[in-house]
């Protein structure tokens, strides 16, 4: 090995360790970057000439940086739109980044809704996932349009109530023209038509000469195309009690409501299970009435399986979407794009996209973000090691330089 070779071997060490220091510096600089994955310098040896049928070393070069896909710590943020991944997988986002319109992948789950109600990341990239309509999930991923969705109205079909009807009530005769004056007891409830409009229905109870009870449900005439202020009956039936005051039989004779503009002949199933006839004041103790008006989205909830539930101002909670995660045959082959984004390459293989939790993909945590997996103390130790190696290689260069100087001085 010549003195010149020794000089260039030292130079290769300086270059390789200088680049390695840059790798450590990049890790340290991104110690607070959400979802960042640290890199590790990969050194490779070089071969030089041959001496006595043995190849001589020719120095070193930095073959590249290896990404370390170790799980970062999940840190609570309190923001329900922040999402951290626990386990394998990357969020899928779509949009234009630095002039390139494509699909990218990230572990940074800082999401929000844009002005149009679409779920996006901090850079305006559209988060990809599956929409859920009436409980059925789409088969292909797409943009998640969450804002502006409404919870559809549901017509009332069931009205359950539990009462006590005073056994000492006077016997009467129900008069449709004067339901309040001819009933022993009455109670009101809210029902909804097929358009979600609310209507006040009053159920009147009248004791018959046979000791049974009649019930009649009425609404204001204006609700069903009639005269305002005039009650119109929409359902009626009978209740029979045993000698212990327990409900022995209930019967609905008719139930049909044609609210203005809504689906006609709406049937409401009245149920009085648990109602009693005991001595004491008539009173209602419980109701369970279905149906609802249309609701506007007020908040979202993201579950560990990636399903997104919409919370509406009508009290409903409905599944509206599910996040997708991408997996790769070789995560180390992904290409960094900046802004915590990665792009697929031939080395990484094509993205394998499915729902959160499917096929070994991880779960997600709402209200948390995955921190950088950089261990600052380890990086500082590595930085010192590279610095010492750089200094040692510089010594090789100066020594080779001194030897060349001695050879030059031989001419004198």
Lowest mean per-residue pLDDT among 55-59, 137-141, 217-221, 301-305: 55-59
Domain limit, last residue, from 265, 289, 313: 289
- Of 227, 258, 289, which marks where a domain is finished? 289
- Domain match, 349 and 405 both: no
Kindly state whether residues 33 and 91 are assigned to the same domain: no
pLDDT tier, 48 (very low <50, low <70, confident <90, very high otherwise) = low
CATH, residue 180 = 2.60.98.20
The answer to whether residue 352 sits within a structural domain is yes
Residue 153 lies in a domain: no
The whole-chain average pLDDT of the chain stands at 91
Given a contact cutoff of 8 angstroms between Cβ atoms, the answer to whether 259 and 155 are in contact is no
Q: Which helix (H) or strand (E) holds 12?
A: helix 3-29
Task: Say if residue 32 is in the same domain as residue 111.
Answer: no
Q: 346 pLDDT exceeds 60? A: yes
| Pair (196, 269) in one structural domain | yes
Q: Rounded distance, CA 238 to CA 34, Å?
A: 66
Instruction: Kindly state whether residues 176 and 277 are assigned to the same domain.
Output: yes
- Answer yes or no: is 310 within a domain: yes
φ/ψ (deg, to 5) at 310: -90, 130
pLDDT at 200 over 80: yes
Q: What is the residue range of 123's domain?
A: 81-148+299-370
Q: Are residues 315 and 337 in the same domain?
A: yes
One domain for residues 220 and 255: yes
**pLDDT at position 9:** 81
- Regarding whether 258 and 166 lie in a shared domain, the answer is yes
The pTM of the whole model exceeds 0.85: no
Whether 267 and 315 share a structural domain:
no
Question: Domain for residue 294, yes or no?
Answer: no
The 10 Å Cβ neighbour count of residue 405 is: 9
Pair (217, 263) in one structural domain:
yes
| Number of domain units in the chain | 3
Is residue 361 in a domain? yes
Cα(200)–Cα(343) distance, integer angstroms = 59
Q: How confident is the model at residue 4 (pLDDT cuts 50, 70, 90)?
A: low
pLDDT at 209: 87
Q: Is residue 75 assigned to a domain? A: no
Measured distance CA(184)–CA(371) in Å, rounded:
68
Q: pLDDT (tens digit, 9 = 90+) per residue, 72-107?
A: 999 999 999 999 999 999 999 999 999 999 999 999
Same domain flag for 254 and 268: yes
Question: Are 274 and 194 part of one and the same domain?
Answer: yes
pLDDT, tens only, 290-326: 999 999 888 899 999 999 999 998 888 999 999 999 9
pLDDT tens digits for range 110-149: 999 999 899 999 999 999 999 998 889 999 999 999 987 7
Contacts of 264 (CB under 8 A, 6+ apart): 258
């Amino acid at each position: 090995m010549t003195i010149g070779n020794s000089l260039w071997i030292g130079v290769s060490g300086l270059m390789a360790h200088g680049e390695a220091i840059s790798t450590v510096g990049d890790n340290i600089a991104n110690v607070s970057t959400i979802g960042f994955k640290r890199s590790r310098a990969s050194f490779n040896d070089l071969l030089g000439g041959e001496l006595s049928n043995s190849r001589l070393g020719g120095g070193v070069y930095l073959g590249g940086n290896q990404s370390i896909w170790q799980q970062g710590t999940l840190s609570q943020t309190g923001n329900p739109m922040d999402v951290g991944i626990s386990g394998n997988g990357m969020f899928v986002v779509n949009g234009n980044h630095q002039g390139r319109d494509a699909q990218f992948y990230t572990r940074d789950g800082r999401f929000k809704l844009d002005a149009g109600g679409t779920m996006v990341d901090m850079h305006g990239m559209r988060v990809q996932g599956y929409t859920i309509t009436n409980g059925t999930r789409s088969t292909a991923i797409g943009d998640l349009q969450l804002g502006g969705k409404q919870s559809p109205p549901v017509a009332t079909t069931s009205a359950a109530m539990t009462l006590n009807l005073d056994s000492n009530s006077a016997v009467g005769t129900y008069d449709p023209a004067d339901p309040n004056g001819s009933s022993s007891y009455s109670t009101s409830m809210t029902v909804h038509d097929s358009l979600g409009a609310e209507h006040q229905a009053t159920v009147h109870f009248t004791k018959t000469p046979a000791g049974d009870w009649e019930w009649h449900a009425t609404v204001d005439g204006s609700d069903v195309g009639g005269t305002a202020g005039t009650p119109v009956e929409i359902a009626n039936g009978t209740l029979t009690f045993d000698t212990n005051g327990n409900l022995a039989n209930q019967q609905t004779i008719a139930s049909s409501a044609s609210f203005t503009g809504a689906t006609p002949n709406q049937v409401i199933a009245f149920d009085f299970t648990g109602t009693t006839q005991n001595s004491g004041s008539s009173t209602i103790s419980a109701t369970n009435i279905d149906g609802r008006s249309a609701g506007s989205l007020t908040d979202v909830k993201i579950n560990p399986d990636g399903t997104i539930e919409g919370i509406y101002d009508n009290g409903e909670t409905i599944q509206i979407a599910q996040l997708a995660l991408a997996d790769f045959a070789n995560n180390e082959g992904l290409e960094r794009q900046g802004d915590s984004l990665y792009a697929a390459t031939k080395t990484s293989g094509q993205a394998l996209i499915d729902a959160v939790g499917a096929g070994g993909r991880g779960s997600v945590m709402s209200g948390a973000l995955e921190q950088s997996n950089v261990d600052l103390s380890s990086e500082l130790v590595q930085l010192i090691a590279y610095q010492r190696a750089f200094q040692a290689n510089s010594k090789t260069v100066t020594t080779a330089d001194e030897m060349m100087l001695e050879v030059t001085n031989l001419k004198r």
